[in-house]
Chain A
Amino acid sequence: MKAIVHKYEMDNIDTDVIIPGPYLKIMDPDELAKHAMEGLDKDFVGKVNRGDFVVAGENFGCGSSREHAPIALKHAGITAVLALSFARIFYRNSVDGAHLLPIEIDRDAYENISDKDQLEVDINKGEVNNLTKNKIYKMKPFPELIRKIIDVGGLLNYTP
């Protein structure tokens, strides 16, 4: 995976800003995607290209359990969110629903990555390669079960 970063240098980006409450009645993922990050950045949808990454701080995706949040991001084009930490339901939803990859990075990497940097993410190597800055960061490895669920394409395809 090789694409551009959209960096939001903030902690606690909650699901109410990722996809505001009034849109929760929408089930069509492409309709949802039109409102991705609407509560934080009105220009988000316009500037994201298929495959791009979001980079953010601590506790990304806190708040409501709405799976609409990773669905909206995915259908807006995002394939992975790289954050210092994730709220647990957002993490589960992203992996179990096979919407996007929640990748935990350390503070050095977080601070080093700038908006619009081009990254290459390799989950097999456990590495994030910043092509713009010519730097390689380690990502926090996925726990064993999470990795298996990712590999089979979501929890519904997984047999314990």
Chain B
Amino acid sequence: MTITEKILARASGNDKVSSGDVIFANVDKVMLHDVSGPGVMTIFNDLEKKGRKIEKIWDPSRVWVSEDHFVPSVDKLAAQNIVLVQNFVKKFGIEKHFKYGLGQYGICHTLSHEEALVLPGEVYVGGDSHTNTTGAIGAFATGMGHTDVAYVLLNGKIWFRVPETILFKMEGNIPDYLMAKDVILNIIADHGTDIGNYKTIQFNGSAISNMPMDERFTLTNMTTEAGAKNGIIEPDQTTIDYVNERSNATFTPVFGDSDAEFTDVHTYDVEKMEPIVAKPFSPANRAIVRELGSIPIDKAYIGSCTGAKYTDLVEAAKIIKGNKVKARTEVLPAAQSIYRRALKDGLISIFMDAGAVVGPPTCGACCGAHMGVLAKDEVCVSTTNRNFPGRMGHIGSKTYLASPKVVAASAITGVITDPRDVR
């Protein structure tokens, strides 16, 4: 069995599961945020109206809640949703509530690893499609809608069709002008945005072994853009150390068997890759930056669960240091803890000295909700994960997805730029 099959076998009380089996699995952790949360609450209210009293949920200690999409509250409706979330958390005794303006908070997927809320070997369901991110820790992590999350909150389990696994073997050493973002954008461009539909995408190989956790999270985060049910990386010493630095909890890492079956295996040499972007309007719409011609930008965006982790900020700051930005540049660290660390380590000064604006952690502009959305015809180069029409603002705006290095290089030149061309 693969690591995914082994985790699902354990969680469903089976000795063995195979791809295609439909099972009910026990869930170890569940997350909701200020968009999926109010959806769950609406369902609970409807059930109560139909006469079902809901006095408790399955296990409040396994649930956590983030405020990330619409904080700082964008308008009265968003503010009201935060009140709903607050009441829900209180009513059901959920202690892990990462509240905007009250200590640690941030984007849900970033918190899941920053705070080690999910452990290797666990089954984790989140009310957000990029829940896949946390699979880099060696957990089965997948996103669902709010009906499914409501069901988990009531029953502690949910149905799954056991997915087939596609293995990506990534070999070589990542050159210093590339990041995990270039790697995953290449994979999506080669195989399409639905290669992973109903399936698992697993990564291994020497390039992965040498990657810090922050970079691994970029890979699993964007398995969502490849349509995957989950992305996963088997734990190694880097994973174990990362979790132990953040949590005292004990856990049992799970590894796939040596004779695990994969439906496909694709091998890449990362040393042959070039810095790339995904042009509008698909994450699969690849272009090599040096072959792109001159694309002037209106905005450089360093933000989101994909591209505003600590490592992302460090790599961007190395390029921006000592330069001035030539396009509007917005840096929004993905969690308060990352913001503080960046402040302490001088990264925030580097961005601000260059003329960039640094804002509070929020999903905000990534989903076109607020905090810097794009106008018609504006062009943005962004460390985020989606560039569908209207994703980051006006339906006539254009987003190029890129690594933090490419975004930083573009910020200081004002056109989309290969990081090798600004040294």
Chain A residues packing against B (C-beta within 8 Å) = 12, 14, 16-17, 20-22, 24-27, 39-40, 58-59, 62-68, 85, 87-89, 92-93, 96-97, 143-145, 154-156, 160
Contacts and interface: CB of A to CB of B under 8 A. Distances in A.
Contacts of B391: 16, 21
Interface in B276-299: 282
A21 B43 contact: no
A143 B197 CA distance: 16
A66 B388 contact: no
A65 B369 contact: no
B368 A93 contact: no
B369 A24 contact: yes
B392 to A, nearest CB: 9
Interface in B63-82: 69-70, 74-75, 77-78, 81
Q: Which of A24, A40, A97 has the most CB of B within 10 A?
A: A24
25 contacts: A16-B390, A17-B390, A22-B369, A25-B35, A25-B69, A25-B70, A25-B81, A39-B390, A39-B395, A59-B197, A59-B227, A64-B128, A64-B367, A65-B129, A67-B147, A87-B194, A87-B197, A88-B198, A89-B143, A89-B144, A93-B147, A96-B147, A144-B22, A155-B147, A160-B24
A85 B194 contact: yes
Interface residues of B, number: 48
A74 B70 CA distance: 25
Interface string B353-370: 000000000000001111
Contacts of B198: 88
Contact of A25 (B77, B129, B151, B227): B77
Interface of B: 22, 24, 35-36, 38-39, 42-43, 47, 69-70, 74-75, 77-78, 81, 127-129, 131, 143-148, 150-151, 154, 159, 161, 193-194, 197-198, 227, 229, 282, 367-370, 386, 388-391, 395
B22 A96 contact: no
